[in-house]
């Protein structure tokens, strides 16, 4: 696979694009499957390397994985709990969802620390505290987490921060625990609801997904089912921004607009013309006199940190000064020096990104430090 993308600028974007299944849901749904005792089929699986790495990990666990087009069938009925220490663990951050799932299913996990994009410090202390609250012992031995429990017993767990990863990992560990688990200050992202929908079809008893209190009644067995993944709101948002910045008439299909309300209202504030037709949004590029706006990232339903970097080049087209504050990942600013290389008047000052537009960017060699920084530079 090439590591270089070459782009000739100055061409207007026109046409239709179909949004895939949500990456951040997919990477949690696939590990969740191992909790079932019979095959699970998932539709709308995006073609991304994270799915390849998770398929490798499931095969290491002796699950059968069948992929065709956008569907994935996993048979976990002959699963064997082996230590997960191969390179596939390093390929994505979300490999850590196998910790919660294996703990929930087998009460034992040995897994090395996960990889993933650098967005600043990404601790997993809240995941670990959650596992411990359910009765697990967590050790870190020779670069691997060793998590064991004689019994997993439901507990009340308050998250100091509404972490997406911790909420899902605790859910996965708790669905088969004895008794009731309550996660307070839980994250409310749509991907969490999607994971809960899959677990519920598998037979889990969960209430409150999408609110800040999720209650789980443990069950003994979970069964196979079929599930269709929600559309990727971050991919959709990235195309909305791209169409606003460089499009004439772009139709983006398979969108749930409610998942993108904070972005859509920012785009309207800037003066972007859009029309919602069914599950599509049409972006019209006839207004290019955008208003400068400030962006502050927050947990859902606030402005997504994953859209902060893709949003930055569009902001550079607006007239005036503005700032971007990422309250989730303050160090998620690696796109800033690269955009400056392309001619932007932008810098990081005291933990904020400060820009002054409009700027006509020009082509330059730039480096994509992480996934969404790459989208911003494209
Ligand atoms: C998920 C998304 C990622 C997105 C992020 C925030 C996936 C696979 N990734 O990442 O794309 O950018 O949500 O919306 O879904 N924190 C702790 N301790 C923990 C866990 C998190 O301090 O144990 C902090 C993090 O450092 C960060 C904040 O909480 O500052 C949010 O992290 P979290 O919501 O957990 O993000 P991820 O699940 O890693």
Arithmetic mean of pLDDT, 303-315? 98
Q: Can you give the length of the chain in residues?
A: 378
End-to-end distance of the chain based on CA atoms, in angstroms?
A: 17
Beta bridge partners of 121: none
Query: Please, which pLDDT band fits residue 189 given cuts at 50, 70 and 90?
Result: very high
User: Percent helix, strand, coil in the chain (nearest 5)?
Assistant: 35, 25, 40
Q: Which residues contact 287 (CB under 8 A, 6 or more apart)?
A: 271, 272, 273
Give the nearest ligand 1 atom to 329 CA: 30
pLDDT of 119 reads 67
With a cut of 60, say whether residue 308 has pLDDT above it: yes
Distances (CA, A) of 135 to 154, 157, 320: 8, 12, 54
Residue of 305, 301, 310, 100 lying closest to 195 (CA atoms): 100
Determine which helix (DSSP H) or strand (DSSP E) holds 326, and give its type and residue range: strand 320-326
Identify which of 285, 284, 304 has the alpha carbon closest to the alpha carbon of residue 295. 304
Full-model pTM: 0.96
% of the chain at pLDDT higher than 70 = 98
pLDDT of residue 30: 98
Q: Decide: helix, strand or coil at residue 254.
A: coil
Q: What residue ranges line ligand 1, CB within 6 angstroms?
A: 24, 27, 93-94, 121-127, 161, 163-166, 187, 305-306, 328-329
pLDDT digits (tens, 9 = 90+) for 11-23: 999 999 999 999 9
> If pLDDT is split at 50, 70 and 90, which confidence band does 118 have?
low
> Would you tell me how many other CB atoms lie within 10 Å of the CB of residue 351?
11
- Cβ neighbours of 199 (radius 10 Å): 26
Q: Please state the φ and ψ torsions of residue 52, each to the nearest 5 degrees.
A: -60, -45
What band does 123 get if pLDDT is binned at 50, 70 and 90? confident
Say whether pLDDT at 42 is over 60. yes
| Mean pLDDT, rounded, for 339-345 | 97
3-class secondary-structure state, position 205: strand
* The predicted structure's pLDDT at residue 117: 67
pLDDT more than 90, % of the chain: 92
162 CA distance to ligand 1 centroid (A)?
9
Q: Whose CA is nearest to atom 34 of ligand 1?
A: 163
Q: What is the pLDDT of residue 232?
A: 98
| For residue 190, pLDDT beyond 70 | yes
Residue 2's pLDDT is 64
Residue whose structure tokens are 């920012």: 266
Q: Which of 301, 328, 332, 373 to mutate to test the pocket of ligand 1 (most atoms within 8 A of CB)?
A: 328
- Mean pLDDT for the stretch of residues 90-109: 95
- pLDDT (mean) for 224-239: 98
**CA 281, CA 182: separation in Å to the nearest integer?**
38
Matching residue, tokens 């994985």: 65
Q: Is the pLDDT of residue 1 over 60?
A: no
Q: Does 90 have pLDDT greater than 80?
A: yes
Distance CA 315, CA 42 (A): 37
């Amino acid at each position: 696979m090439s590591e270089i993308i070459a782009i000739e600028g100055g061409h207007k974007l026109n046409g239709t694009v179909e949004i895939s299944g949500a990456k951040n849901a997919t990477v949690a749904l696939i590990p969740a499957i191992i909790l079932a005792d019979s095959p699970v089929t998932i539709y709308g699986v995006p073609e991304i390397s994270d799915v390849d790495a998770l398929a490798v990990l499931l095969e290491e666990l002796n699950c059968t994985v069948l992929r065709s087009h956008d569907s994935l069938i996993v048979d976990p009925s002959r699963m064997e709990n082996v230590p997960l220490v191969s390179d596939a663990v390093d390929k994505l951050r979300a490999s850590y969802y196998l910790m919660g799932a294996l703990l929930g299913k087998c009460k034992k996990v040995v897994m090395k620390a996960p990889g993933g994009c650098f967005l600043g410090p990404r601790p997993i202390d809240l995941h670990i505290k959650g596992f411990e609250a359910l009765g697990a012992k967590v050790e870190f031995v020779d670069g691997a987490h060793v998590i064991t429990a004689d019994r997993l017993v439901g507990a009340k767990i308050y998250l100091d921060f509404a972490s997406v990863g911790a909420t899902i990992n605790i859910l996965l560990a708790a669905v088969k625990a004895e008794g009731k688990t309550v996660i307070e200050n839980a994250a409310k992202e749509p991907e969490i609801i999607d994971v809960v929908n899959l677990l519920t079809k598998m037979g889990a008893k969960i209430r409150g997904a999408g609110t800040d209190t999720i209650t789980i009644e443990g069950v003994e067995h979970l069964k196979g089912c079929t599930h269709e993944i929600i559309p990727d709101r971050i991919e959709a948002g990235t195309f909305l921004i791209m169409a606003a910045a460089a499009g004439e008439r772009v139709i983006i299909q398979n969108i749930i607009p409610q998942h993108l309300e904070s972005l859509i209202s920012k785009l309207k504030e800037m003066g972007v013309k859009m029309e919602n037709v069914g599950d599509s949004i049409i972006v019209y590029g006839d207004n290019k006199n955008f208003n400068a706006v400030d962006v502050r990232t927050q947990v859902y339903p606030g402005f997504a940190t994953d859209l902060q970097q893709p949003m930055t080049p569009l902001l550079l087209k607006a007239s005036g000064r503005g700032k971007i504050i990422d309250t989730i990942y303050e160090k998620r600013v690696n796109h800033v020096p690269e955009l400056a290389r392309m001619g932007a008047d932008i810098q990081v000052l005291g933990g904020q990104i400060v820009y002054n537009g409009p700027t006509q960017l020009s082509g330059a060699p730039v480096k994509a430090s992480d996934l969404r920084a790459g989208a911003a530079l494209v």
